Structure 1
Amino acid sequence: MPRITPLLRSCCLVLAALGFAPLSHAAVLDDAQGLWAAGKRDQAIKMAEDALKTTPEDPRLRFALGTMLLEQQQLERARVLFTGLTEDFPDLADPYNNLAVIHAARGEYEAARQDLMRALDLQPDHAQAQENLGDVLMRLAQQAYERALKQALGDDTALKLKLQRVVAFNNAKGAQAR
């Protein structure tokens, strides 16, 4: 049996754990995830999209499709789905976390920080949101140091050293993720 990507599997488990009962399209969702795991990404997305035409309010299907689109770098389409989920199900942390990922990918770190803070308000032990917040805060710190460095007067050696540490940390973290 093909493996479902960890991100996709965790997304569906979270929604199931939050009390979303099995829906009539659960089999379609399973089939779409199977196609995804088998590398048939376009077919999986089409299957999820087609199923959503008949049940547009299905949160598990919407979330799974958004995650697929996010993994395919279709950021705007994924953003629309996750934004809709935050509007329709404002007590779910995961759509906020995924919106933050999209904002961060676009360099919109303050918007990402706000989404992550909302996710953590809803679910303080959300490990992925906590890790993502750390990454976003590092990027915001890097931007602040870079702005300060441009405006520094006099001896800016200490500031340069701090900036170098932030950049080195971000580079090392990026290398670990690969």
Structure 2
Amino acid sequence: MRSTSFIAGAAAAVLCCALFGPAPAAYAAPTEMQTLASTLHDSQFSERVERLLKQNRPAQAVELADIGIARNPRNAQLQFMRSIGLERLGRTEEAAKGLRSLIAAYPEIPEPYNNLAVIEAGFGNLEEAVRLLNQALAINPEFATARKNLGDVFLALSIESYEQAAPVLTGNDALQTRLKTLKRLVEKR
């Protein structure tokens, strides 16, 4: 009798799995950001992600931005803030890729050019940074942050040029003075 009930129970389990699929291994509780997202209207995601970035919580900002982008894939502001969060997490290649996609989809927005320029400058691609900053300024000539960043890149290019010339022009005191002055300026930032 016992073996019959075991066989019947096993058959019922097989039938249940066939009808409903396997039982989940474990129920995963929603994350803090998933819970928050369930309370937000699509229009509220950008403000909340920005708040998380200001609170120095980039991982949560990226998670919430991902949920918001899944709900509204054309939200350029969320895509931009997501890339800021990725950059703060040290995921600069991923941030750069997101900014390139944003530029391709919305070439009229200057901020992604500026942020991508900063990343490119960090990679040592100073000429590409100049090109991107000039594009941002062509879109918005009053974009003060892009203008400041362009000055920083020109400073870095100047230092690079002086450093390349210094070994050849060892007796040029003016060049040595300019190089030292520029390096002091950069150190004070």
Q: Which of 79, 86, 108 is residue 125 of structure 2 equivalent to?
A: 108
The answer for the alignment partner of 2:71 in structure 1 is: 54
How big is the shift at 1:39?
4.4
**Counterpart residue type for residue 47 of structure 2:** D
Mapped partners of 2:108, 2:92: distance in 1 = 22
How big is the shift at 1:112?
0.8
Q: Percent identity, aligned pairs only?
A: 28
The answer for the alignment partner of 1:84 in structure 2 is: 101
Superposed CA deviations along residues 87-107 of structure 1, whole A, max 9, x for unmatched, are 111111111000011111222
**Counterpart residue type for residue 171 of structure 1:** E
The answer for the alignment partner of 2:181 in structure 1 is: 165
The answer for the alignment partner of 2:146 in structure 1 is: 129
How big is the shift at 1:113?
0.9
How big is the shift at 1:32?
2.8
Superposition pairs of residues 1-178 of structure 1, within 5 angstroms: 25-152=42-169, 155-172=171-188, 174=189
Change (3 A) 1:150 1:33: same
Superposed CA deviations along residues 55-113 of structure 1, whole A, max 9, x for unmatched, are 32211110111122223332111111111111111111111000011111222211111
Change (3 A) 1:67 1:41: closer
Q: SS at the partner of 1:49? A: helix
Unmatched segments (≥5 aa) in structure 2: 1-40
Change (3 A) 1:134 1:35: closer
Unmatched segments (≥5 aa) in structure 1: 1-23
Mapped partners of 1:44, 1:90: distance in 2 = 24
Larger RCO (alpha carbons 8 Å, 6+ apart): 1
Work out which of the two has the higher radius of gyration on C-alpha atoms and give 1 or 2. Answer: 2
How big is the shift at 1:136?
0.5
How big is the shift at 1:133?
0.5
**Counterpart residue type for residue 95 of structure 2:** A
Change (3 A) 1:121 1:43: same
How big is the shift at 1:137?
0.2
Mapped partners of 2:176, 2:132: distance in 1 = 30
How many pairs does the alignment contain? 149
Mapped partners of 1:41, 1:97: distance in 2 = 20
Mapped partners of 1:39, 1:95: distance in 2 = 20
How big is the shift at 1:38?
4.1
Greater alpha carbon shift after TM alignment, 117-126 vs 155-164? 155-164
Greater alpha carbon shift after TM alignment, 121-130 vs 26-35? 26-35
**Counterpart residue type for residue 169 of structure 1:** L
- Normalising by structure 2, what TM-score? 0.72
Mapped partners of 2:52, 2:183: distance in 1 = 39
Superposed CA deviations along residues 12-49 of structure 1, whole A, max 9, x for unmatched, are xxxxxxxxxxxx62222233333444444322211111
